């Protein structure tokens, strides 16, 4: 397992946190996701054989939020 912290931009409420958490947990290979509003961050534990950081970022972007590079 691997853990990564992503800076998520554009979240303004707990509904945003729930949305980002939901899309991250739906990515195959993700074991857990903890998302916080302040600061906007997502800590994700995933199986690197099944997914990668690029796929996690893509899921967040598809949900309407930005990920800092």
Number of structural domains (the chain) is 1
Question: So what's the pLDDT on residue 68?
Answer: 85
**pLDDT digits over 40-60, tens only?**
999 999 999 999 999 999 999
Is the four-CA dihedral 15, 17, 20, 23 of positive or negative sign?
A: negative
Q: How far does CA 5 lie from the centroid of its chain? A: 8
pTM, full prediction: 0.92
**pLDDT digits over 17-40, tens only?**
999 999 999 999 999 999 999 999
- Domain extent for 41: 2-67
The CATH code of the domain that includes 16 is 3.30.70.100
Gap between the Cα atoms of 48 and 38, Å rounded: 27
Given the structure tokens 């290979």, which residue do they identify?
29
pLDDT value at 69 more than 80? no
């Amino acid at each position: 397992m691997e853990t990564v912290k992503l800076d998520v931009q554009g979240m303004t409420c707990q509904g945003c946190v729930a949305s980002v958490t939901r899309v991250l947990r739906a990515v195959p290979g993700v074991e857990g996701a903890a998302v916080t509003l302040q600061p906007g961050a997502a800590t994700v534990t995933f199986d690197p054989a099944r997914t990668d950081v690029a796929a996690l970022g893509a899921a967040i972007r598809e949900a309407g939020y930005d990920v800092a590079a």
